[in-house]
Structure 1
Amino acid sequence: MKNIVITGATDGIGKLAAIQLAKEGHSIFVHGRNEVKVSATIAEIKADTNNQNISGLVADMSDLNAVKQMADKINRELPGIDVLINNAGVFKSSNILNKQGVDLRFVVNYLAPYLLTTMILPLLEKTKGSRIINLSSAAQAAISYDAMLGKSPISVNESYAQSKLALTMWSFRLATELHETSVIAVNPGSLLNTKMANEAYGQHWSPAEKGADILCDLAQSKEHEGITGKYFDNDRGAWANAHQLAYNEAAIDELIDFTQKLID
């Protein structure tokens, strides 16, 4: 039985993955930004799977102080973590920037998972063979730091793509720094039948289960044991190359430096 933390697990592929992994008997920690929705999801998963080892975590990922509080709670209450799935993400939103004036998609899709993972790394590192699964995307674009700081205009699509490249770049760097923990970036599939895709584009290409299945597979399959610092493209169903900047050490250094200044 594994301890598995899944962010953004009250909806979409995060919720489907939580149900699937709960059916296999694992202890699941379900994160959402709304306490009522988290509680309802926990009750639903328990009823569906007959697995009572389902717990909740609540934090608004656009608020880094809330992410810090959630990380503190995890560090206090969990003895170790086998799998962290950084699934929470945002595309469309009524707000362009968060309360601190940073691009909302950059915060939720990249800074929040960076901060959460960094803070709970000791729990992952003490668990042999632990895995971090970061939700990337087929959409990846070079980062404009002025745009991320709200200093220049940017489209939602461009902002989203930049946040996903940032997550992928950091995933590859983190993989080089960890010895007992694997780090994988994954595009779970383009235009899956989820609330996010339907709100953004009004259509879908594939069932949401396609994305949930690959998350569960990457999280626990023996086939992927020890694989780290790689990108899985579920549109192709294979390991693939990410954006070229994901392999550019100078660009990654610049990103990490920018990130640390925002978080400190």
Structure 2
Amino acid sequence: MVSVIDKAERKIAVVTASYSGLGTELCKLLAADGFNLVLINRDAAKTLIQIQELSALAPLITISSITADLSNQAAIRDAARKVSDQYSRIDLLVNNAGVVLDRLQISSQGNDVHYEVNTVAPYLLTMLLRPQLAAAKRAIVIVVGSSAMKMVRKLELDRLRNPGKFKKFAPYAQSKLATATAFFAMAASFAKEGILLRIVDPGPNQTAMSTNQGVPGWFRMFRRFFALPEIGARRIYDAAMDRKFGEQSGIYIERGKVTRPPAPVLKKEMQEGILELLHETTTS
């Protein structure tokens, strides 16, 4: 049961894709921990159902819903404005949203949707909410990564916005690698403002994504051996809340331990390149 805490004293968590398999279980953990929640999703009706379930679990917390298509940068900016209008500080931002498609789809900005949702959205939302994160004095930003990026030998910056010839799963893996590279590059600057950036690989889980036609057939065949969503959600939660990670920022967490990320993530030229590309993407 959540203890009685003044609303102003409660920690505030912003979560994208909150009603997904991992998001659902993560929000239960945060609600039970007494966080006020801001849920950013594409489907308002599904979010309402989730809010009702979370309110029954933790009736004393405040839960807000913001509807946004994270492939649309204008929608992301509007969502960030609504968050900042409501809260002057944010203690935790979880960039959980992700997409894997079985064909090339182009966003309203003219970019591959994998890149928009998996890379641009977490970058842009984090940048836009930076003042509110800094106001918390010690805020944590979690990016949900993927083991898929280990399948990529190098980060192809020139193919992120439009991969050209579509090869199933490749744009997803590239976009996840790009996100990890960007957040590693941003970590030192954000840490100066008391904002810790962490990437966590929740491992393969039995979620809707693991049955998606955008993932390889061999991957779907092993789904029954994947962890339940509760396990992946706990790994995300622990990446933010476990005291053993202390004040570490710019870290990659896998199976509850800080591990070395794929080699391209640590290359300075890749870090500089992805930040330049993201700046160009979000300001053009």
TM-score (norm 2): 0.87
Q: Deviations over 1:52-97 (max 9, x none)?
A: 4111121101111100110111111112000101001111366522
Alignment partner, residue 7 of structure 2: none
Residue 154 to residue 93, structure 1, CA distance change in 2 (3 Å): closer
Alignment partner, residue 131 of structure 1: 140
- Secondary structure of the residue aligned to 1:61 is coil
Residue 43 to residue 59, structure 1, CA distance change in 2 (3 Å): same
For residues 86 and 230 of structure 2, the distance between their equivalents in structure 1, rounded to whole angstroms, comes to 31
- Of all paired residues, the percent bearing the same amino acid is 26
Instruction: List aligned pairs for 1:86-165, cutoff 5 A.
Output: 86-92=95-101, 96-140=105-149, 141=152, 142-150=154-162, 152-165=164-177
Instruction: List aligned pairs for 1:184-199, cutoff 5 A.
Output: 184-189=198-203, 191-199=204-212
- Alignment of 1:247 with 2:266, yes or no, is yes
For residues 89 and 176 of structure 1, the distance between their equivalents in structure 2, rounded to whole angstroms, comes to 25
**Gaps spanning 5+ residues in structure 2: where?**
1-9
The one of 180, 195, 202 aligned to 1:181: 195
Amino acid at match of 2:261: A
Tell me by how many angstroms 1:110 deviates: 0.7
- Alignment of 1:231 with 2:252, yes or no, is yes
Alignment partner, residue 218 of structure 1: 239
State the Cα RMSD in Å.
Answer: 1.6
Question: For this pair of structures, how many residues does the alignment match?
Answer: 261
- Alignment of 1:57 with 2:66, yes or no, is yes
CA contact (8 A) 2:90 2:133 kept: yes
For residues 104 and 87 of structure 2, the distance between their equivalents in structure 1, rounded to whole angstroms, comes to 33
For residues 107 and 143 of structure 1, the distance between their equivalents in structure 2, rounded to whole angstroms, comes to 16
TM-score (norm 1): 0.93
Tell me by how many angstroms 1:130 deviates: 0.8
Amino acid at match of 1:150: N
- Alignment of 1:41 with 2:50, yes or no, is yes
Amino acid at match of 2:69: D
Tell me by how many angstroms 1:225 deviates: 2.5
- Secondary structure of the residue aligned to 1:25 is coil
Name which one, 1 or 2, has greater alpha-carbon Rg. 2
Alignment partner, residue 259 of structure 1: 278
**Gaps spanning 5+ residues in structure 1: where?**
none
CA contact (8 A) 1:129 1:225 kept: no
